[in-house]
Structure 1
Amino acid sequence: MSDRDHKARFRPKDRSRGRDGGHKPAWRERERPDGPAILYGWHTVTAALANPRRKIRKLFLTENAARRLAEDNIDTRVPPEMVRPSQIDQRLGPDAVHQGLLAEVDPLPSPSIETLEQDGIVLVLDQITDPHNVGAILRSAAAFDVKAIVTTARHSPEATGVLAKSASGALELVPFVTVQNLARALTALNERGFMTVGLDSEGQDNLAAVKLEAPLALVLGAEGKGLRQLTRETCRVVARLDMPGEIKSLNVSNAAVLALYIGATRLGLMS
């Protein structure tokens, strides 16, 4: 097959134009709620290939990536399409570190609040929109065996692309619970016996001093804005993270790690 044929197969046929008259990046056209999710990068794609719950629609590989998969005896599950690295660059943009792998996949099913285990820790994200931050939080959540991440359908990044890359495979390990209304979701968690703890710089107590109980839901707000008022009012406890240094605030993904460590330690999950 010629390089021209490869490019014709790799590009989506329907490419709408942006305001400047140029074509929008193809990967953005694919990242629609009703379309396939886009995964790229070695850890992200190989984790998806190893997840039997993940349906793989298409797999695009460079020769080097295909060779590495074969050497590691990783099942591609679907016949891969061989492409040049530049073709994946065209799909994702020149700054994406794809390592020669790109997959189109179906989103994983989203469980409901009612099906969550009443054990351990869940994380609740209040309009955290940066996919890098959510991906980093997801990776930490997998490390601390978080049972689920609860987020809103709006004002949150899709579980694809940059978020999945930042999560480095953790997207396959921690379920996402997508809800329409966060306050109602927190109310449901309260009713199911979760101790809902909002993290806010204006919290009355230091989280390390709060008596934490399982099941525990730690609620994180967006950087700058923090928790919304209704979110704060719906949490059973609002606590802060006291820092000994001159800088008193943390990036939200770092705050998540610290809160998870405190929570897991207090609940006896670190042994």
Structure 2
Amino acid sequence: MAKPEYYYGVHSVESLLELEPERVLTLFTLKGREDQRLKRILELSAPFGISVQQASRDSLEKLAGLPFHQGVVAAVRAHPVLSEKDLDDLISSKDNVFLLALDQVTDPHNLGACIRTAAAMGVDAVVVPRDRAAGLTPTARKVAAGGAEKVKFIQVTNLARTLGQIQDNFNVRVIGTMLDEKALPLQECDFTGPIMIVMGAEDTGLRPITQSKCDQTVYIPMAGNLQSLNVSVAAGMTLYEACRQRNSH
């Protein structure tokens, strides 16, 4: 049996209990904590007979790996890792798939923030490379504030190859965010239909091999001398425009 994963933070644990309570093995709560948020978590867990153990602050910190656990940690049955086949199955089942890819984003806080926004904007899956990129760590899950349970997280061996395959096999358009001579202002790009939006890391942007797979590139017009934004902020602005167009369409 695979080792359990540990979720921490009120939003993350609450969302897990609402959507996938069967995965929760044990709840650990801060000894002496008795507030409404914790009461809600205990109410959600009660119908499923989930074991609840009170623990000291130090014990929770060891389970979470960080001191920012908000007084609740859940030991959870690990999810199988989703891969290229799962992505193909998802696209095959959706007429108008909406995907976000992150090209070597290594900060789990940025990954979590992108997942949170993706879930809010109706994205079907977040796709990342398996290597040299942040995974769905407890920190990323906490920052996602429940979003990680609402949007699929798929790791692929070779992102550029995956982009080419979904273009050829499923006619999914790949839209990359970068400033080049062919880039359109964000609001002038057509985000309707089956698409994958690709965001690069703040320091390096999209790798050349990823750029070569883009059907269209876009940029976010900015005032002043600013040339770039944090990837999670840029993802939020781009996904919002895509969501606006898709809903109005």
Same fold (TM over 0.5): yes
Counterpart AA for 2:69: H
Structure 2 unaligned blocks of 5 or more: none
For the residue of structure 2 that corresponds to 1:81, the secondary structure is: strand
- Relative to its length, the structure with more helix (as a share) is 2
User: How far apart are the structure 1 equivalents of 2:181 and 2:124?
Assistant: 25
User: Which residue of the partner structure matches residue 252 of structure 1?
Assistant: 231
Q: Tell me: CA distance 1:125–1:107, structure 2 relative to 1, closer, same or farther (3 Å).
A: farther
User: How far apart are the structure 2 equivalents of 1:62 and 1:91?
Assistant: 12
Q: How does 1:151-190 map onto structure 2 within 5 Å?
A: 151-190=128-167
Task: After TM superposition, give the deviation of residue 106 of structure 1 in Å.
Answer: 2.9
Task: After TM superposition, give the deviation of residue 68 of structure 1 in Å.
Answer: 4.5
Q: How does 1:1-271 map onto structure 2 within 5 Å?
A: 35-52=3-20, 55-65=23-33, 68=36, 71-72=39-40, 73-75=43-45, 77=48, 78-92=50-64, 96-109=67-80, 110=82, 112-116=86-90, 117-191=94-168, 192-202=170-180, 204-205=182-183, 206-267=185-246, 269=247
Task: After TM superposition, give the deviation of residue 64 of structure 1 in Å.
Answer: 4.4
For the residue of structure 2 that corresponds to 1:141, the secondary structure is: helix
Q: Deviations over 1:102-132 (max 9, x none)?
A: 1222333426221122414210111101000
Q: Tell me: CA distance 1:70–1:246, structure 2 relative to 1, closer, same or farther (3 Å).
A: closer
Post-superposition, which runs of at least 4 consecutive aligned residues in structure 1 deviate over 4 A? Answer: 64-70
Farther off after superposition, 182-191 or 197-206 = 197-206
Q: Tell me: CA distance 1:70–1:182, structure 2 relative to 1, closer, same or farther (3 Å).
A: closer
Task: After TM superposition, give the deviation of residue 210 of structure 1 in Å.
Answer: 2.1
Task: After TM superposition, give the deviation of residue 263 of structure 1 in Å.
Answer: 1.2
Report if the CA contact (8 A) 1:61-1:83 is conserved: yes
Task: After TM superposition, give the deviation of residue 234 of structure 1 in Å.
Answer: 1.1
Task: After TM superposition, give the deviation of residue 53 of structure 1 in Å.
Answer: 7.0
Report if the CA contact (8 A) 2:6-2:63 is conserved: no
Query: CA RMSD of the aligned region, Å?
Result: 2.3
Q: Deviations over 1:206-265 (max 9, x none)?
A: 232223331111000111111111111012112222213332311100100111112122
Report if the CA contact (8 A) 2:10-2:37 is conserved: no
For the residue of structure 2 that corresponds to 1:245, the secondary structure is: coil
Counterpart AA for 1:202: D
User: How far apart are the structure 2 equivalents of 1:67 and 1:263?
Assistant: 39
Identity of aligned pairs, percent? Answer: 30
Structure 1 unaligned blocks of 5 or more: 1-33
User: How far apart are the structure 1 equivalents of 2:3 and 2:180?
Assistant: 41
Q: Tell me: CA distance 1:227–1:101, structure 2 relative to 1, closer, same or farther (3 Å).
A: same
For the residue of structure 2 that corresponds to 1:80, the secondary structure is: strand
For the residue of structure 2 that corresponds to 1:158, the secondary structure is: coil
Larger Rg: 1
